Amino acid sequence: MSTSVRPVRGGRTGLAARLVVAFTLVMGVAGVTAWLVAGFAGPVLFHRHLVGTGVADPAAVVHAEEAFRSASALSVGLGLAVGLATSLAVAVVLARRVGRSLHAVATAAALLAAGRFDARVPTPRLGAEFDALATSFNAMAGQLADSEQLRRRLLADVAHELRTPVATLGAYLDGLEDGVVELEPQTIAVLRDQGARLTRLADDLAAVTRAEAPGVQVARVRTDPNDLLLSAAAAVADRASAAGVLVRVERGDGLPGVLVDHDRFGQVLGNLLDNALRHTPAGGAITLAAARTPERAVRLTVSDTGSGIPAEHLPHVFERFYRVDTARSRTDGGSGIGLAIVRALVEAHGGRVAAFSDGPGRGARVEIDLPPES
Ligand SMILES: Nc1ncnc2c1ncn2[C@@H]1O[C@H](COP(=O)(O)OP(=O)(O)O)[C@@H](O)[C@H]1O
Ligand SMILES: [Mg+2]
């Protein structure tokens, strides 16, 4: 750690000095009390007891009292000295241990503030409170590290997505300017296409940001799951028949209603159907089905007979900007955000979503489980 990061220090007096002062004060009060008792009350009591036992010889009384006084002074003095030394030692040891742990936390906090998100504090073993402090601190640092990583990746992804259309637009404009490229309908189509891609990216980014915002608002209405599927199928009917793909709906019998935001759920099923259409060649089929799971949730399934998803990609398809076949998706215009939006919106409805495929060429299936209306 060669950085010049230092914890910010508060007042000047350290913990050790404060503890020493506190312990010395306590010992001082104890000493004064002991001295008062031993110097005033003790001799009076001793004298009374001595006379009470019948010792009459004045010389013997004086001698005994003298002995009492020096014994008292010795024991009080010795006790105080040992007590003071012990308390000083304890104060120093305690202050060192507490100080070391606090210093570790302060240093780690300063590192975090300077952008070093890998800073962690060791468990101090100084009791439950300090251990809890260290644990929560490390949890906080972990969260910060995660969101920082997410932020970087998002920026890198966005930059990557922007580069291709912007570069294409730039190249065409240069070509037009130099007279190498003619302003033909074909050229205009390419330019418009790249522009549309940028617009779509902006829309997708806005949509995913909205969908992933904490506490996203969903206006839920009680709905028959079959109706959701029917209207989603109707929305893509034209595109499907143009692509030569059959879309069918398998209604579920006796299903409970689900509470969903119609617009948002239209978006969810629309994104899934969009993917299915894009990956299913002519002659294939897409099936929308509603059924009940053993856990009494309502399961909506969108399956297709298309190109399928290789197993190693399945766990990642819901991540933002994740595309299985980047080259192909690029020409198709997908930015890899559709399923991220799907997941965020399904989770905002208290549901869960998962993707399955029996492998390349064997179709894909996405299942959404929604809690039944209660
Ligand atoms: N029905 C499907 N069949 C095959 N692959 C799919 C299917 N749905 C999604 N995928 C894969 O998952 C990736 C992520 O999907 P998505 O987030 O919708 O992004 P996009 O559609 O913009 O590429 C897609 O790039 C595609 O490779
Ligand atoms: Mg998509």
- Decide: 322 in ligand 1 pocket, CB within 6 A: yes
Sign of CA dihedral 38, 42, 47, 50: negative
Which residue has the CA at smallest separation from atom 19 of ligand 1?
336
Which residue has the CA at smallest separation from atom 13 of ligand 1?
323
Q: Tally Cβ neighbours within 10 Å of residue 340.
A: 22
If we measure between CA atoms, which residue out of 337, 335, 332, 324 comes closest to residue 364?
324
| Euclidean distance between CA atoms 21 and 27, whole angstroms | 10
* Ligand 1 pocket: which of 273, 304, 313, 317 to mutate (most atoms within 8 A of CB): 317
CA 7 – ligand 2 centroid, Å: 48
pLDDT in the model for residue 10 = 57
Specify which of 14-18, 24-28, 101-105, 358-362 reaches the highest per-range mean pLDDT: 358-362
Sign of CA dihedral 77, 79, 85, 88: negative
CA 261 – ligand 2 centroid, Å: 20
pLDDT in the model for residue 56 = 75
| Euclidean distance between CA atoms 136 and 172, whole angstroms | 55
- Decide: 87 in ligand 1 pocket, CB within 6 A: no
Which residue has the CA at smallest separation from atom 1 of ligand 1?
276
Which residue did the predictor score with more confidence, 19 or 328? Answer: 19
Which residue did the predictor score with more confidence, 315 or 54? Answer: 315
- Decide: 260 in ligand 1 pocket, CB within 6 A: no
| Euclidean distance between CA atoms 217 and 111, whole angstroms | 36
Q: Is residue 280 over pLDDT 50? A: yes
User: What percent of the chain shows pLDDT beyond 90?
Assistant: 45
Q: Are strands 285-292 and 246-250 parallel, antiparallel or unpaired?
A: parallel
pLDDT in the model for residue 77 = 87
Which residue has the CA at smallest separation from atom 25 of ligand 1?
323
Residue 333's pLDDT band (boundaries 50, 70, 90)? low
Residue range 84-89: mean pLDDT, rounded: 88
Q: Is residue 2 over pLDDT 50? A: no
| Ligand 1 atom with minimal separation from the 271 CA | 18
How far apart, in Å, are the Cα atoms of 310 and each of 176, 296, 317, 323? 42, 30, 10, 12
Q: Is residue 264 over pLDDT 50? A: yes
- Decide: 247 in ligand 1 pocket, CB within 6 A: no
CA 274 – ligand 2 centroid, Å: 6
- Determine what percent of the chain falls in helix, strand and coil, rounding each to the nearest 5: 65, 10, 25
Q: Is residue 1 over pLDDT 50? A: no
Domains, the chain, in order of start with CATH, read: 15-119 (no CATH), 151-212 (1.10.287.130), 221-370 (3.30.565.10)
CA 143 – ligand 2 centroid, Å: 29
Rg (CA), the chain: 39
Asked if residues 371 and 312 have their Cβ atoms less than 8 Å apart, the reply is no
Residue 328's pLDDT band (boundaries 50, 70, 90)? low
CA 338 – ligand 2 centroid, Å: 4
Nearest ligand to residue 303 Cα:
1
- Decide: 225 in ligand 1 pocket, CB within 6 A: no
- Decide: 319 in ligand 1 pocket, CB within 6 A: no
| Ligand 1 atom with minimal separation from the 340 CA | 17
Q: Is residue 262 over pLDDT 80? A: yes
- Decide: 349 in ligand 1 pocket, CB within 6 A: no
CA 181 – ligand 1 centroid, Å: 34
Residue range 21-29: mean pLDDT, rounded: 88
How far apart, in Å, are the Cα atoms of 327 and each of 243, 312, 332, 335? 21, 18, 9, 11
Residue 152's pLDDT band (boundaries 50, 70, 90)? confident
Asked if residues 23 and 87 have their Cβ atoms less than 8 Å apart, the reply is yes
Mean pLDDT of the chain: 88
Residue 101's pLDDT band (boundaries 50, 70, 90)? confident
- Decide: 65 in ligand 1 pocket, CB within 6 A: no
- Decide: 363 in ligand 1 pocket, CB within 6 A: no
- ∠ CA 205-225-290, nearest 5°, is 95
User: What percent of the chain shows pLDDT beyond 70?
Assistant: 94
CA 185 – ligand 2 centroid, Å: 28
Summarize pLDDT for 286-301 with one digit per residue, the tens: 999 999 999 889 999 9
| Euclidean distance between CA atoms 313 and 315, whole angstroms | 6
Lowest mean pLDDT of 79-83, 301-305, 306-310, name the range.
Answer: 79-83
